[in-house]
Amino acid sequence: MDKNNILQKLKRLFLRQSITEATILITLLATFSRILGFLREMMIAAFFGARKFTDSFVVAQAIPSILAGLVAGAVSSVFIPLYAEWREKYGKEESERFASILLSNIFIILLFVTILSYILSPIIISILAPGFNEETRNLSIYLSYIMLPSIIFWGTYGLISGIFNSQRSFFLPNFSGVIGNIIFIIFIFFLHKSLGIYVLAWGSLANVVFQYVILLPYLSKIGFHLKWELNFKYEGLKKALYLIGPIFIAQSIGLINMAVDRIFGSYLPEGSISALNYASRIYNLPLTLFVNALATATYTEFAFNAQSEDLSNLKTSMEKSLRAALFLIIPSTFGFIFLSKPIVQLAFERGLFDSLATRRTSESLIFYSLGLISMSINTILVRIFFSLHDTKIPTKISIIALIFNIILNFIFIKPLAHMGLALATSLASIIASILLYKEIKRKIPEPFTKDLLEKIKLFTLGGFIIGIIALSSYNFLSPLLPKNQWGLGVSLFSSIGVSVLIYIYLCSKWKLEEARRIFNIIRRNLDFLSQFIGLK
């Protein structure tokens, strides 16, 4: 392979990717972005701890996150299946017009929502954190005022990312996330002394603005041309709004779930909300790196397979996605349960983040981890429903899960405090998985084949074995190494590294396809890297 061929391949990878390439790229970039995100959270923990200031920021951040997340999640979920339909029926030019009209109208709606949010912010803060005292409440309001413009950026960013994904261009949206995290980290590192806790609000806003600026110029590079057009009578917009309604409700249920936990958490001791937030950062790591990356890369395939009357290809794609996701998520679950304390210690325990914060966060992590498997299954199954243009069933199930979450919060908060809130979230997710499975059976016969169930059993056995090995290795190494962050890091990563190798070895012995794929991916990338480095 000569230099020109390699450069051409790199250029193509930059703009468009196959599903396998996309999954790898998204995972690698998401890994890097999450590492940066963890560095950001470590800095926040060190500079501000888990106290009323961080509690205020977490609650204030919920307002733009909820409002923008509702729109961005709903629009991006609807866009790809509808774009596939419009491209199939009317061609490229009309499908681009559909995207332009949708983006223009969404922008106007979000502008109005942002203005309204400035008026309603004090009321929303009081609802989200009724247990806050006046000082903490006022701080949350001021922080929210800084971040509210991000509603417009995040809300339309979801659609722009959907446009890139519909063109099988997955690199740039994920790369922009890396840059956004770097910008946030720079803000915190250089301005935390002069701006105090307000640096988190300004850094959060700068994060999304820079991501937005990065993506827009490259739309034309992937052959997509957006134009400003307001047309509320357009057929595609009407259909999108019809489908967005149930998804909007479903997305809002997920975010309301988060808000409900914050409401209950505001009655717990100071720092409890922050502990739950830090724990969620950790357990969301494999979801973002593996499951969301996989779901994003395969959603376009789901959407096009769903256009056929024969759903066998869709069923095959779903099963492969579930196997790939659970192959990685099940061992991650055992890892978090067995090694929760050292993971939290290494990630956050420094500066103002003390041993009490570590204990609360690690306890929350254990109970959150119980729902990791069901959360992964839900992510894939919901995409299947969306690809079939069925947005009502996931919405109904989300509402049921929310009701269970609230009931379980009431039951568990008194005996288990912050742990009870995490446990309620996990149990509600498991209930949602059961209901989604029952409903998907009505559309796809035998969605979970015997082969898939057998593989899940092997993933579980392997995950349990390496969880025990990881804990034993850590307990053996930890006393032998220095009692500092370096010693903790070496003992923890060594234990995890050995366990991962053993897991892959066991799966290869059991002739699991996922282990073979990992070996092939590593080999192909090493071959490509050696050729690239070998250039004169």
More confident of the two residues 9 and 131: 131
- Among 24-38, 361-375, 389-403, 480-494, name the one with the lowest average pLDDT: 24-38
Convert 156-184 into a string of H (helix), E (strand) and C (coil): HHHHHHHHHHHCCCCHHHHHHHHHHHHHH
| Environment class of 483 (CB within 10 Å of its CB; exposed 0-12, middle 13-18, buried 19+) | exposed
Model confidence at 6, pLDDT cuts 50, 70, 90, reads very low
- For residue 501, what are the CA distances in angstroms to 466, 469, 507, 510, 529? 9, 11, 10, 14, 22
C-alpha span between 258 and 128 (Å, rounded): 10
As for how many domains the chain has, the answer is: 1
C-alpha span between 160 and 150 (Å, rounded): 15
Does 134 fall in a domain? yes
C-alpha span between 500 and 335 (Å, rounded): 10
Tell me, what's the pLDDT at 536? Answer: 41
Does 111 fall in a domain? yes
Does 68 fall in a domain? yes
Tell me, what's the pLDDT at 24? Answer: 64
In the chain, % of residues over pLDDT 70: 86
Tell me, what's the pLDDT at 212? Answer: 83
Based on C-alpha coordinates, what's the Rg of the chain? 23
**Helix 150-166 vs helix 52-90: crossing angle, to nearest 10:** 40
Tell me, what's the pLDDT at 26? Answer: 67
Tell me, what's the pLDDT at 21? Answer: 57
Does 443 fall in a domain? no
Does 232 fall in a domain? yes
Tell me, what's the pLDDT at 535? Answer: 45
96 CB-near residues (< 8 Å, 6+ apart): 224, 225, 226
146: which 2 tokens? 């800084």
Cα 53 versus chain centre, distance: 25
Q: What are 349-400's pLDDT values in tens digits?
A: 887 788 888 999 999 999 999 999 999 999 889 888 888 878 788 888 988 9
Model confidence at 73, pLDDT cuts 50, 70, 90, reads low
C-alpha span between 320 and 324 (Å, rounded): 6
Model confidence at 198, pLDDT cuts 50, 70, 90, reads very high
Percentages (nearest 5) of helix, strand, coil residues in the chain: 85, 0, 15
Domain interval for residue 144:
49-167+224-267
More confident of the two residues 177 and 145: 145
Does 263 fall in a domain? yes
Q: Pick from 188, 493, 490, 195: which is nearest to 351 by CA?
A: 188
- Among 72-81, 339-348, 420-429, name the one with the lowest average pLDDT: 72-81
∠ CA(214), CA(228), CA(234), 5° rounding? 125
Contacts of 451-458 with CB under 8 Å at 24 or more apart are 452/319, 452/322, 452/323, 455/323, 455/326, 455/327, 455/512, 456/326, 456/330, 458/507, 458/510, 458/512
More confident of the two residues 176 and 521: 176
Model confidence at 309, pLDDT cuts 50, 70, 90, reads low
Model confidence at 446, pLDDT cuts 50, 70, 90, reads confident
Does 57 fall in a domain? yes
Does 144 fall in a domain? yes
C-alpha span between 422 and 408 (Å, rounded): 10
